[in-house]
Homo-oligomer: A and B are copies of this chain.
Amino acid sequence: MRVVVDTSSAEPLFAQVTAQIRDAILTGSLAAGERLPSAKDLAASLEINQHTVLHAYQDLRDEGFLELRRGRGAVVRKDHPRPDPALLSAIDEVRRAAAAGGVPLSTVVHLLTARENS
């Protein structure tokens, strides 16, 4: 499981971790039942605080992707959410339209994520 963080990014560190792990699960590179590194270890390897990783883990738990247990660690749930086929095709459509219009993906990401702060 490869995770990287960019301290200079505007995206919060915990959100970066959340997004990457969520992605790893959705793409299958993190299999159901698989155990994640402990928050302490992952934090050490990323050189960030353990709480920041725990924040990410807890968000993923709330989203239904992880099961967290004291003393045991974080495990990918077997019944974790899977992307709706309609969503996948919609994403595909966006990718095609962006490519056709010469719009860089970074712009698409910006349009997609821009919102009133929450």
Contact = CB atoms under 8 A, between A and B. Distances in A.
Contact of A68 (B68, B70, B118): B118
A79 interface: no
Say how many copies of this protein the assembly contains. 2
Nearest to A69: B117
A6 interface: no
Contacts of A62: 62
A40 interface: no
A70 to B, nearest CB: 7
Contact of A70 (B61, B69, B70, B117): B117
Nearest to A58: B118
Interface of A: 61-62, 68-70, 117-118
5 contacts: A61-B118, A62-B62, A68-B118, A69-B117, A70-B117
